[in-house]
Structure 1
Amino acid sequence: MDQQLQIFVTVAEKESFSRAAEEHHMTQPAVSQYIRQLEEEIGARLLERTNKYVRLNKAGEIVYHHAKEILALYTKMQSLVDDLANKASGPLSIGASYTFGEYVLPRIIANLKQTYPDIQPTVTIGNTATIADLVASHQLDIGIVEGKFNAGKLIVEDFAEDAMVIVSSADHPLARIERSLEVVDLEQETWIVREHGSGTREAMDKLFKQHGISPTNYMYFSSTQPIKESVEAGLGISLLSHWSLKKELKNGDLRMINVNGLPFPRKFSIVTNTPFQTKALEVFIDILRTNKLLTTLE
């Protein structure tokens, strides 16, 4: 049934029998036969088909969701069996929240590839909640996240600490104040923030709660880079990871505001979904645990 599921998933994602046939190097009638056999085994139609489109119906959505998990588990099972006789190699699906994924992970993967060239990593970057959910559903081998999330049956290991700081543009009035400020002094400022579900947004909300402030002026962005550019343009201030600010602080494009009680600490966690790990996953986790980049913010 695994080939039926693979073909079904491809049809669902490409919304086309012909494109699925091209993907699997087979004829369109062969694809149709696989789908028909799957529908007979499931006992329900899974696709709405017209001359213009192919779409999942309600039953198809259920099968698609679980098919993705089944195929991911099948791939993991095969990798584990292969590892019994082979060195670290093969696919490794990595998920990371934006801060870690955009500003730290690339150099760690470069290290991984240099030491283990036969490992084939793929990276998904999203907010903390999304990455945790993908690991939970076996669509990612490992996630690197920060903040709170629905751990469920996930295996969670704290492995690194980040430092959050408040920054402004170089010519912002706050950047010229030499004395230490209190967080409450910043309540009336415009804050450039991430969406709910991100670890960075959670850290900001926690900071506000700790200091009893409720800013009302917000601008929202879905990743760190446009936040930095907005702050640099003078649109407001933000609480961001020191890891994400190294270039801008070094070049003088952004200024760290001297605020009592900061930097604000937070932890990064490794999340996995099974104690059975491929060699590729084992060596990657070892690299995460021992990487010197994660022990310093210099």
Structure 2
Amino acid sequence: MDQALIVFIAVAEKKHFTRAAEELHMTQPAVSQYIRALERTVGTRLLERDRKQVRLNKAGEIVYRHAKEIVGLYGRMQSLVDDLLHQASGRLAIGASYTFGEYALPRIIARLQSLYPSVKPAISIGNTKDISEAVAAGELDIGVVEGEFPHERLRIEPFAEDRMHVVAMAGHRLAQTERGRLGIDELADETWIVRESGSGTRKATESMFARFGFEPRSRMEFGSTQLIKESVEAGLGVSLLSGWAIRKELALGTLRVLDVAGTPVSRQFYVVIPAADFHTRATEVFRELLLREGAHP
């Protein structure tokens, strides 16, 4: 594999020649030489330099994106060859959207380690869009997401159902059992706390609003499920959250599920892998484990 690409990626991500050299255990002049050689090869400058840092220019952004893909492809090629001779082993880059990654994945990883101790998982947590794009770009071997993200370079497979509930703080006026089933219009004056755009939970919430023809008068947008739960517990508003994410809070009595007509809302979790003919043995065994044991929290 072209060492210049590895050096260029390090410089682009560290935004500094010296830091990149330290990471690669090289001298700074050697790093500079590799960058100059790559720029000669592509026929243009790739980095803009100032006294504090370097940054990618437009050409550099193009080269960086494709360099990451090339390095990822090389790594997978080597892993596939190794798999012909050995059992599942090596690094497995797993991406997961927040709900599954934070509340279900640890149990699956523990099971993976008990069965295949030579597999070394590296976990990234992000929203559905970011994880899917990282798998498509070859930066992750496999992903678990909360919603479909169609892409020609992905194979998408449902494997578990998620039931989502409208939740409020304990003692909320609408959580009293004698009130009976609520219509969603009764929540119009509540502040709805929602996830950020690109999140599978946000998509499910918007789909529920559209299905009911409902639009809350007030919203707050937060970037993590944990922050939303704590905000609901504090009485800042209500939210639609996964049953997987609220198990502890329901058991402790700090959150209450509101009995809203048309809920719980069901959605699917999906496994996403590159749409390729071959995958590493580690990827395949983890996928099989998800399909076999990942359907229940």
TM-score (structure 1 length as normaliser): 0.95
Contact 1:167 1:256 in 2 (8 A): yes
Q: Is the 8 A contact 2:148 2:270 kept in 1?
A: no
Q: Hey, what does 1:222 align to over in structure 2?
A: 223
Please say if residues 148 and 156 of structure 2, whose CA atoms lie closer than 8 Å, have aligned partners that are also in contact: no
| Partner Cα distance (1:251, 1:49) in 2 | 55
For the 8 Å contact 1:94–1:141, the answer to whether it is kept is yes
Partner Cα separation in structure 1 for residue 19 and residue 257 of structure 2: 51
What are the Cα deviations for residues 166-214 of structure 1, in whole angstroms up to 9, with x where unaligned? 1100021111243111222222211111112111111111111111111
Instruction: Please give the alpha-carbon distance, in whole angstroms, between the structure 2 residues aligned to 1:267 and 1:102.
Output: 16
Paired residue for 1:190?
191
Residue 226 of structure 2 aligns to which amino acid in structure 1? Q
Matched, 1:200 2:197: no
2:198 and 2:40 map into 1 onto residues whose CA distance is: 40
Q: How does 1:164-179 map to 2 (within 5 A)?
A: 164-178=164-178, 179=180
Structure 2: runs of 5+ lacking an equivalent: none
2:113 paired with 1:118 = no
Amino acid at match of 1:246: R
Q: Which amino acid aligns with 1:281?
A: T
Superposition deviation, residue 114 in structure 1: 1.6
Aligned residues: 295
Paired residue type of 1:82:
D
Q: Contact 2:157–2:272 at 8 Å: present in 1 too?
A: yes
- Deviation for aligned residue 1:110: 1.2
1:47–1:251 CA distance, 2 compared to 1 (3 A): same
Rounded to whole Å, the distance in 1 between the matches of 2:130 and 2:26 is 34
Q: What is the distance in 2 between the residues matched to 1:176 and 1:192?
A: 21
Is contact 2:166–2:257 with CA below 8 Å preserved after alignment?
Answer: yes
- Deviation string, structure 1 residues 208-229 (Cα, Å, up to 9, x no partner): 1111111121011011000000
Q: Which residue of 1 aligns with 2:257?
A: 256
SS of alignment partner, residue 271 of structure 1 = strand
The one-letter amino acid paired with 2:200 is G
Q: Distance in 2 between matches of 1:184 and 1:52?
A: 55
Q: What's the CA shift string for 1:25-61, capped at 9, x where partnerless?
A: 1211111111111111111111122333222122111
Alignment check: 8 A CA contact 1:129 1:150 kept: no
1: CA distance between counterparts of 2:104 and 2:163? 14
Check the 8 A contact 1:232/1:254 in 2, yes or no.
yes
CA distance in 1, matches of 2:151, 2:55: 32
Q: Which residue of 1 aligns with 2:44?
A: 44
Matches within 5 A, 1:56-95: 56-95=56-95
Aligned to 1:100: 100
Q: Retained in 1: the 8 A contact 2:168–2:233?
A: yes
Distance 1:264 1:52 in 2: 51
Amino acid at match of 1:287: L
Query: What is the RMSD of the two structures over their aligned residues, measured on CA atoms?
Result: 1.3
SS in 2 for 1:265: strand
